[in-house]
Amino acid sequence: MNFLQDLLSSIGRRTRGQHLFGGEGSGKPSSLARLTSVCETLMHPGGEASQILIAQEALERYASLGDSDRVAFFQLLGERYAAEPDAIHQAYAAYRDTGDNASLQRLFSACEPRRQHLLRRLNLCPGGTYELVKMRADLLRCLKPHPELAPLDSDFEHLFASWFNRGFLVLESIDWNTPAAVLEKIIHYEAVHAIGDWSDLRRRLDPEDRHCYAFFHPATGDEPLIFVEVALCKGIPNSIQTILEGGDEVRPEEADTAAFYSISNCQAGLRGISFGNFLIKQVVQELKRELPNLEKFVTLSPVPGFAKWLAAERESGACQLTDEVAGGLDAGGWVENAKLRDKLTPEVRGLAAHYLIDAKRDNGLPLDPVARFHLGNGASLHRLNWPGDTSENGRRQSHGLMVNYLYELDRIEQNHEAFSREGTVVCTSDIRRDAKQGRSRCRHGSRTDA
């Protein structure tokens, strides 16, 4: 549908203007006072005639503010752009009396913070959406010292959840024919296994046995929202180094397994808007369509909380390791020392299985964030790989362990149900056996909390 391509070229022209914002070159006085007054004009029903220009001025002025002025601006949004208490009281009284939909509707309207209206107005301007995403990133950075701004953040989240609805996202394959400007962002945003340079990137985009997919939103143009990197393998991979170093290239027609080995959220300003679940499942479908030979879809995932948890267990005395095991883990010599590795293997697998299956937060969900994500998506815990990541980071975070989660489209629903209802971690019998062994090393076999 060529016509749509044309649509997007217009969007292109539009979003390219984004870099105009925020420069000292705009030459406008960057006083908070002026921004405040511009926002007031923008809310004015009488300001409709030139809302786009006013929105643009507001965003430019915001961009030129310093950090403390931005906090002041957020506070002002909290104070002045709440809702009318009297209107709420009246609307509530009517709702209380009738309880009908009409009165509910009026109460809902009365309660909507005026901030949301302001944010929608700011979005009128070309490139405005991305400016607002960056504004929320600023806001999130201020939340710790300024917890009073949390409700303002809820307004952003409420709007973004609507604007960045899955129905508006576009899945794109990222490859060596992608514009350099986008690839540069991929290098920048990779959050799991850093991309060293362009050669490293090129290896990860090798059309023979690598794929990369990202979600984009038409209004934020060529800014990726989230992306996932995939390696085609023969069998389920057990080492991230083998993948990153490209040691086991396979021809597309030989590959029977797609391994998702890195997934990165790109926009700090979109925290809480979840894309990963949709991305993985759509990529599974794309790959199935393109490469009918693929039989298995797994991840090769880090276990970022394992080492920290184990340290705490040992500290508290809940978990007791022999000196040899404890020393081996702490010294880390197992990378080179095969004998030590053999010794440690059953211990590490046991403890890790125990951690992944039994260590839970108060809400009954796994302590490990990556486990939480994939199990929540309906994947199952498929295999523990040790050593799976011999990098320094891998050893520090998880004593070198990596995990495969398995995505089986026809099991996703029931896995997810079991997990979300009862906290069941669906896994293989091997892992269950490992966990049993792990539990025996620890005083308690049940939930822990960080």
16 binds a second copy (CB under 8 A): yes
288 binds a second copy (CB under 8 A): no
Instruction: Tell me how crowded residue 411 is: count the other CB atoms within 10 A of its CB.
Output: 14
Nearest CA to 31 out of 68, 3, 84, 2 is that of 68
277 binds a second copy (CB under 8 A): yes
57 binds a second copy (CB under 8 A): no
Show contacts with a second copy in window 126-155 (CB under 8 A). 126, 128-129, 148, 150-152, 154-155
Strands 301-302 and 380-385: unpaired
Single out the residue of 33, 67, 98, 176 in contact with a second copy (rule: CB under 8 A): 176
Show contacts with a second copy in window 182-241 (CB under 8 A). 182-184, 197-198, 202, 216, 218-219, 221-222
**Distance in Å, CB of 137 to a second copy, minimum:** 18
**Distance in Å, CB of 380 to a second copy, minimum:** 12
Report d(CA 158, CA 164) in Å as an integer. Answer: 10
**Distance in Å, CB of 34 to a second copy, minimum:** 18
Strand partners, 230: 211, 260
276 binds a second copy (CB under 8 A): no
178 binds a second copy (CB under 8 A): yes
Single out the residue of 245, 290, 324, 417 in contact with a second copy (rule: CB under 8 A): 417
Single out the residue of 17, 28, 166, 424 in contact with a second copy (rule: CB under 8 A): 166
Catalytic residue among 193, 374, 382, 399: 374
The token pair at 135 is: 């504004």
374 given a catalytic annotation: yes
Considering the complex, state which of residue 275 and residue 334 has its C-beta at the smaller distance from a second copy.
275
Contact stretch for a second copy (CB under 8 A) within 95-103, 237-245, 319-327, 388-396: 95-103
Long-range contact set of residues 330-333: C-beta below 8 Å, sequence gap at least 24 = 332/395
| Token pair 């184990």 in the structure block, residue | 310
95 binds a second copy (CB under 8 A): yes
Show contacts with a second copy in window 342-381 (CB under 8 A). 376-378
Considering the complex, state which of residue 101 and residue 446 has its C-beta at the smaller distance from a second copy.
101
**Distance in Å, CB of 209 to a second copy, minimum:** 14
The CA R_g of the chain, rounded to the nearest whole Å, is: 26
H-helix segments, 24-127: 32-43, 51-63, 67-80, 85-98, 101-111, 114-122
The DSSP output letter for 107 is: H
The DSSP output letter for 384 is: E
Report d(CA 112, CA 155) in Å as an integer. Answer: 9
287 binds a second copy (CB under 8 A): no
For residue 125, the SS3 value is coil
Contact stretch for a second copy (CB under 8 A) within 109-117, 236-244, 315-323, 357-365: 109-117
111 binds a second copy (CB under 8 A): yes
Residues 6+ apart with CB under 8 A from 363: none
Contact 262, 201 (CB under 8 A): no
Report d(CA 158, CA 115) in Å as an integer. Answer: 11
Angle at 268 between CA 267 and CA 269, to 5 degrees: 85
CA distances in angstroms from 354 to 48, 103, 210, 361, 406, listed in the order given: 61, 53, 33, 14, 18
Considering the complex, state which of residue 265 and residue 398 has its C-beta at the smaller distance from a second copy.
265
Residues that contact a second copy, how many (by CB under 8 A): 97
Single out the residue of 31, 37, 68, 105 in contact with a second copy (rule: CB under 8 A): 105
| Residues labelled as active-site residues | 301, 374
